[in-house]
Amino acid sequence: MATHRIELSQQSLIGSFTREAPPIISVSSGDTIRFETLDAGWGTGGSNTDRRKPFPRREKVDGGHALIGPIFIEDARQGDTLEIQFNEIIPGSYGFTSAGQYPNWQNRMLQLTDYEEIILDWKLDNATMTGACDINGKAFAVSLRPFMGVVGMPPEDTGIHPTWPPRFCGGNIDCKELVKGSKLYLPVPVDGAYLAIGDGHAVQGDGEISCQAIECPMEAVEITVRVMKGAPLTNPRANTPAGWITFGFHEDLDEATVQALDGMLHLMGELYGLNRVEAMALGSSVVDLRITQIVNGVKGVHACLPHGILK
């Protein structure tokens, strides 16, 4: 098994999911990849000056989040499952969060004629894993739980696909549980996978209510990728420090909930030999349903089965 390092450069960045761009690297199942990331806004978000000078963006393929990729995985074939294990996620020195700039349901909550857009500049300390900001002279601090918001592959063989929505093959999942030590399982939609990762978050609440977490670059991300044969999935699932997680994505929150629950019933059947009715009855006592995010057009719901809760 090999370890690869990807240097941050214009050539290693892409703002879409596609197999029409040449891969930046080719790896095998079991290989480890280490890289640095820009913040999702290509180094232009917020007002913090402690940031890397942004790289030029290409017109067709760089319209979305700043991602590292595409990464070609030699063993991956359409219909396989890709396991992405997060070995290390270290945030950079700054972050930002804005509110009041998006024309969506926030308008109803904020009554934007009465409020102005706000951008919070965060100072991040990856030694103490804390973040600090100031609002009108009031100091606030949070504990950091960094994770990558966008992890995915192109859904089809051709075309350039935006980074904004979550899909069955990954994308803008924005699940705060995908921290260090997690394993994310994604259906492989195209031969070679063409994996791309970015959108670093220093910490986020479920729902991501302002459309942004603490958006930040990542000083170091290390993943190990493994191709799983004969274990097809229809939607992502993950094994995280918080527990097993299954996902649902849809414009309708109810439908996203049904997808997440359907995935959990399948998973409980695999883990414990239960039929769907048995899993539903037992799961009603131990499974948590959470809103992953409501801000990407396609909404996300995740079901969580905490480790050790069933004896």
- Which domains are delineated in the chain? 3-93+146-230 (2.60.120.580), 98-141 (no CATH), 242-305 (3.10.28.20)
Q: Which of 108-117, 146-155, 235-244, 286-295 has the lowest mean pLDDT?
A: 108-117
- What pLDDT does 241 receive? 98
Query: What mean pLDDT do residues 244-266 have?
Result: 97
Model confidence band, residue 101 (pLDDT cutoffs 50, 70, 90) = low
Model confidence band, residue 55 (pLDDT cutoffs 50, 70, 90) = confident
* Mean per-residue pLDDT over the chain, rounded: 93
- What pLDDT does 48 receive? 63
CB 124, CB 91: distance < 8 Å:
yes
pLDDT tens digits for range 260-283? 999 999 999 999 999 999 999 999
Task: Give the DSSP H or E segment for 266.
Answer: helix 253-272
Q: Greater confidence, 98 or 279? A: 279
Q: What is the model's pTM?
A: 0.94
Q: Rounded CA gap, 181 and 86, in Å? A: 5
Query: What mean pLDDT do residues 28-53 have?
Result: 83
What does DSSP say about strands 147-152 and 166-167: parallel, antiparallel, or unpaired? unpaired
Task: List the alpha helices (DSSP H) in 19-171.
Answer: 106-110
- What pLDDT does 119 receive? 87
In the numeric block, the tokens 């990954």 are attached to: 170
Query: What mean pLDDT do residues 93-101 have?
Result: 86
- What pLDDT does 43 receive? 86
- What pLDDT does 142 receive? 98
Whether 89 shows a pLDDT value over 60: the answer reads yes
Residues 6+ apart with CB under 8 A from 111: none
Model confidence band, residue 100 (pLDDT cutoffs 50, 70, 90) = confident
pLDDT tens digits for range 176-194? 999 999 999 999 999 999 9
- What pLDDT does 39 receive? 93
User: What SS3 class is residue 116?
Assistant: coil
Q: Which of 42-56, 70-84, 130-144, 157-171 has the lowest mean pLDDT?
A: 42-56
Over the Cα atoms of the chain, what is R_g? Answer: 19
Whether 148 shows a pLDDT value over 60: the answer reads yes
Give which of 60, 304, 76, 299 is closest to 186, Cα–Cα.
76
User: Positive or negative CA dihedral for 239, 151, 19, 260?
Assistant: positive
Tokens standing for 219?
A: 């000083």
- What pLDDT does 47 receive? 60
Whether 211 shows a pLDDT value over 70: the answer reads yes
Q: Rounded CA gap, 166 and 66, in Å? A: 16
Query: What mean pLDDT do residues 209-224 have?
Result: 94
